[in-house]
Amino acid sequence: MVIKGTELKKIILEDIKEKLKSIDRQLGLAVVQVGNDEASNVYIGQKEKLTKELNYKFIHKKFNEDISQEKLIQEIELLNDDDTIDGILIQMPLPSHLNSNIVLNSVDPDKDVDGLTYINAGRLVQNEPGLVPCTPKGVIDLLDYNKITITGKNIAVIGRSVLVGKPVTNMLINRNATVTLCHSKTSDIKSITKNSDIIVVGVGKKHYLTKDMIKEGATVVDVGINRVDGKLYGDADFENLKDKCSFITPVPGGIGPMTIAELGANVYNAYTLKKKRN
């Protein structure tokens, strides 16, 4: 069965709109961009569209490529102090003269809608309430929505980035799965994926996961987005895998839409978490 993210995206956005009716002010999202990376411009456009749909205030702070780290952090601190802004997102990648970790960690953890600050990463590891990265949250919600059991399952996660692999691993562990986290130095990944009930793949390589690597009836969640000759492909060889899987997410239309929906949800979550802490 092919499980799309588009249907659940709509449900999540409708649910947020319903919840927003009981809030007496407009929520706000700020995106901080340095330079003029073309892919970043596209991603920011998608975020602006989302804020229009949810009637969030949208601030796009775009700085020249040569902005100093000190000045950038001052600008982020202004957003931290701005009560009309609930979520702040630093658009990656940043130019190499900026230390991404320092910049990311200057965001107020309670406005960190990408869930990338040390505080939120720590909260996730400790299974405490916090803001979590949108793509991994989209993976979990899509599994839940399709009633795919996580507890007790053997799950292979391929890719160990701080944006995808590590947080999804922690979320799955928090949900009582047994997780094997694989990466480019893992030997014999096939022997791991062959024994996995669920495989979450996010490596950034077109058709990396092939039919011979999975067992009959496995669930495949494809996080990868690979643009080849203007066309989008996932990390899973969808056409050859789909008849062997119980469930598989397509690319495009699988985890991509979920990531956008979860960002919308995270702005609302940031608002409610902050309210609870105050």
Catalytic residues: 47, 91, 114
227 binds ligand NAP (CB under 6 A): no
Exposure on the CB side of residue 139, measured as CA atoms within 13 A: 29
Residue nearest to ligand NAP (CB): 161
21 binds ligand NAP (CB under 6 A): no
Shortest reach from residue 43's CB to ligand NAP, in Å: 9
51 binds ligand NAP (CB under 6 A): no
How many degrees, rounded to 5, is the angle at CA 214 between CA 208 and CA 216?
A: 145
164 binds ligand NAP (CB under 6 A): yes
159 binds ligand NAP (CB under 6 A): yes
163 binds ligand NAP (CB under 6 A): yes
- Please name the residues in contact with 46: beta carbons below 8 A apart, sequence gap of 6 or more: 260
Shortest reach from residue 50's CB to ligand NAP, in Å: 13
- Helix residue spans in 129-164 (DSSP H): 134-145
Nearer to ligand NAP (CB atom), residue 28 or residue 138? 138
Q: Dump strand ranges (E) for 117-264.
A: 154-158, 178-182, 198-201, 219-222, 226-228, 231-233, 247-248
SS3 of residue 41 by DSSP? helix
Nearer to ligand NAP (CB atom), residue 69 or residue 226? 226
225 binds ligand NAP (CB under 6 A): yes
Report d(CA 267, CA 57) in Å as an integer: 11
The interface with ligand NAP within residues 65-124 (CB under 6 A) comprises none
161 binds ligand NAP (CB under 6 A): yes
Burial class from Cβ neighbours inside 10 Å (0-12, 13-18, 19+) for residue 245 reads: buried
* Residues of this chain that bind ligand NAP (CB under 6 A): 135, 158-161, 163-165, 182-185, 189, 202-205, 223-226, 255-256, 259
